[in-house]
Structure 1
């Protein structure tokens, strides 16, 4: 879609004192990069460091001096951000624009994290870190880190129950409520549904097709643009041609009920009904064509959300064996609205679907849903960078082979950039060699 990637290159030196990394988004795939190294080479520390710097969270930024690194340089479309650690463990932050003019120079001290609790110092420290965080965000945007403990978030149960209480759907307290990973899947599917529906609603509301319909009708009628010089039958054929075109482009949006087409279907039925005369179509043309143009534009604006729903469902259902994930924006027949996990049940040579609790999914199934949902959530809300540590956790060989393919599809129409740190040769097989950053051990002379 022509979205410029904000981050051009990330270079790190002296991770855990010994290892360098270079992640270059300017060569090869500009949106997806992998990091590979053996255990103990600072890979996870690098991911945390990048996230702490670009998260937009001042508490995380205060942790930067505690990280084991010597230098971190982030080149962006706007300039360069450089963090250099001194021998006293403080870190010098400098931000330069593309003309090499220094815009900001600040010191991050290891003691700032503890001093922030001191009432006399906290305001000064907080203001300084807010200023640093704001300036970094202007250059890098916001990052999200999905660590290896992503299904063990102890706050997930609380967040999920608060959400259910707000929706008046709180369940009775049972042992299942303590299944944290199941609640995380519930939560991430709700977040995904909210993000997609919100984007679709915003697109539909602000669509070009939502403005000027009636003014176009008035203009057509007053300026006699109804095609009155044509025969009624020709006008009717033009209207039918327009209806067929809309039917062709609305299939995916209609499949997930992102736009209400009841009125359109009613008009279609009336237009296609046999009639003894077609003179009335000359008058209808002035009214229907602006309506159809408006609807067509609205479909085009909502189509990206429908495509993301389709990509997510196709990815999950291609890899799942005896389960599927479905989507219903309205939650018909008492089911949950949004995404629902269902099990395929065989009975008397027939198959049916039964809704299941995400807590009953296998670890691999939970990880797969979580990761792909997070990719779409980050893509739709405008995150700049998604960082994933060891995406292969609990994924079988086949799923590892397919994973990168579906990540690319879920992020395709966005400006989201992704970094994955992995030990899996199966996942790396889907990368070009130029898109994999290997750890390089510094060679130091011993005197």
Structure 2
């Protein structure tokens, strides 16, 4: 979950482009309050507003320099715990400004004055968006690398979408490995088996032992089988045990001993499944979210192999070879998933570009679903009627105009 002190409660900007004001409120943490949509005709400063927020929330020399050229008089970002970031200019809309960061409302903030003379030259140019129309930087023929090898298991290419998918892949895999690591440190299965075996015979009758084993195994198979599709866990051994139990008589005298020995293993497996549940939910939401949009191709994920894109013929597809809309969709959903770990606010400028009408209608709900585990907030600027139709009217922000 996003830490409370990182959650944004409000954003206000005055005199963007010298004329327009924006005020955005995030009053709560539910899904209904995680997304705000900005609508305004062209030339009302939407992109400048988003660029200013991005720069103000980025602690770097490049961000400080970017703010020099963004035309506004004042920007204030307030956090849920009362902390704030304030950027303001005394006179001109561009150039020198002061920035103040306050951790808590009753504490004195840290202030700096920034002047264009502090920077020898333009360090970089900030874009909020993606490279969906940029040509691939290398050979993107399906199923092959430039050296003739297979793409499967080796997607380390130079395209930005490929690098982004590699980052998502690492995040999903590390989430699963971290879950298993926590479980392994806590369970001590062999220690439990040793202890229960040394305790002696079970107090259960043969029929009671069999019923208890069958009930626990059935429950574990129901909970654990979905994890197998992403190869997070194998239930093969448990199925073999269930088959063996099904082949013995209900009054077999060895059943109480079998129950005594298997109980620690079954309890450990239950701990594994519970530990992996958050990782499974994150992976499942992302994979199904992407595939809800894709047609005639599919995104796949397994813990051993990572992320793959495949066509309906089963052959691997290179991410940079997708259509502009497909690449844009993957970029947006991937960023939403990555934000669950470290970014309380995701800023998107005109997400509808390159997307068909049906995708535009479903996009915002999918962004919320993919990011639900991190309680991520979204600030989106759009001209699309389809996009706006997916957001309650009260969540649409329009600029005010200076008298």
| Band of TM-score, shorter chain | 0.7 to 0.9
Deviation at 1:269, TM superposition (A): 3.5
Unaligned regions of 5+ residues in structure 1, if any?
A: 118-144, 162-168, 175-180, 331-336, 345-351
Matches within 5 A, 1:349-388: 352-379=313-340, 381-388=341-348
- Which residue in the other structure is 1:342 paired with? 310
Q: Is the 8 A contact 1:210 1:294 kept in 2?
A: no
1:32 is aligned to 35
Could you tell me how far 1:97 is from its partner in structure 2? 4.5
What secondary structure sits across from 2:244 in the alignment? helix
Selected match of 2:61 from 58, 67, 70? 58
8 Å contact from structure 1 (residues 80, 96) kept in 2: yes
Listed as ranges, the matches of 1:288-299 within 5 Å are 288-299=262-273
Alignment of 1:18-29 (within 5 A): 18-26=19-27, 29=32
Matches within 5 A, 1:17-96: 17-26=18-27, 29-78=32-81, 79-87=83-91, 89-96=95-102
In the alignment, the residues of structure 2 paired with residue 307 and residue 432 of structure 1 have an alpha-carbon distance, to the nearest angstrom, of 27
Aligned twin of 1:334: none
Structure 1 residue 83 displacement after superposition: 1.3
Residue of 113, 116, 136 corresponding to 2:119: 113
Is the CA contact 2:227–2:280 (under 8 Å) kept in the aligned structure 1?
yes
TM-fit CA distance, 1:94: 2.1
- Out of 275, 282, 301, the residue aligned to residue 301 of structure 1 is 275
RMSD between superposed Cα atoms in Å: 3.1
Post-superposition Cα deviations, 1:110-144, rounded to whole Å, max 9, x if no partner, equal 22222899xxxxxxxxxxxxxxxxxxxxxxxxxxx
1:147 pairs with one of 128, 131, 140: 128
1:218–1:61 Cα change, 3 Å: farther
Mapped contact 2:168–2:338 kept (Cα < 8 A) = yes
Are residues 2 and 324 of structure 1, via their aligned partners in 2, closer, same or farther at CA, if it must alter by over 3 Å? closer
Aligned to 1:101: 107
Q: 3-state DSSP class of the match of 1:282?
A: helix
* Alignment-derived partner of residue 421 in structure 1: 381
Deviation at 1:421, TM superposition (A): 1.1
Q: Determine the C-alpha separation between the residues in 2 that align with 1:38 and 1:317.
A: 33
1:195 match: 171
Question: For the Cα contact (< 8 Å) 1:182–1:358, is it kept in 2?
Answer: no
SS of structure 2 residue aligned to 1:288: helix
Q: Deviations over 1:278-326 (max 9, x none)?
A: 3323233333222222222221222222223322332333323322223
The equivalent of 2:362 in structure 1 is 402
Tell me, in whole angstroms, the C-alpha distance in 1 between the residues paired with 2:271 and 2:105.
Answer: 42
Give the superposition deviation at 1:209.
Answer: 7.3
Q: Distance in 2 between matches of 1:292 and 1:255?
A: 21
Stretches of structure 2 lacking an aligned partner (at least 5 in a row): 150-156
Aligned counterparts of 1:377 and 1:2: Cα–Cα separation in 2: 12
Residue 186, structure 1, aligned to residue 162, structure 2:
yes
Residue 206 of structure 1 deviates from its aligned partner by: 1.3
Q: Is the 8 A contact 1:96 1:103 kept in 2?
A: yes
Match of 2:181 among 205, 216, 238: 205
- Say whether the 8 Å CA contact 1:35–1:438 is kept in structure 2: yes
Distance 1:44 1:56 in 2: 20
Deviation at 1:275, TM superposition (A): 4.8
What TM-score does the superposition give when structure 1 sets the normalisation length? 0.77
CA distance in 2, matches of 1:21, 1:323: 41
Cα distance in structure 1, aligned partners of 2:175 and 2:55: 28
Number of positions where the alignment pairs a residue of Structure 1 with one of Structure 2: 385
Contact preservation (8 Å) 2:88, 2:99: yes
- State the distance in 2 between where 1:58 and 1:277 align: 75
Q: Alignment partner of 1:427: what SS?
A: helix
Distance 1:109 1:382 in 2: 30
Contact 2:348 2:379 in 1 (8 A): yes
The answer on whether the counterparts of 1:210 and 1:298 sit within 8 Å (CA) in structure 2 is no
Is the Cα–Cα contact under 8 Å of residues 2 and 344 in structure 2 kept in the other structure? no
Distance across 1 between alignment mates of 2:134 and 2:343: 21
Q: In the alignment, what sits opposite 1:435?
A: 395
Find the aligned partners of 1:116 and 1:183 in 2 and give their Cα distance. Answer: 25
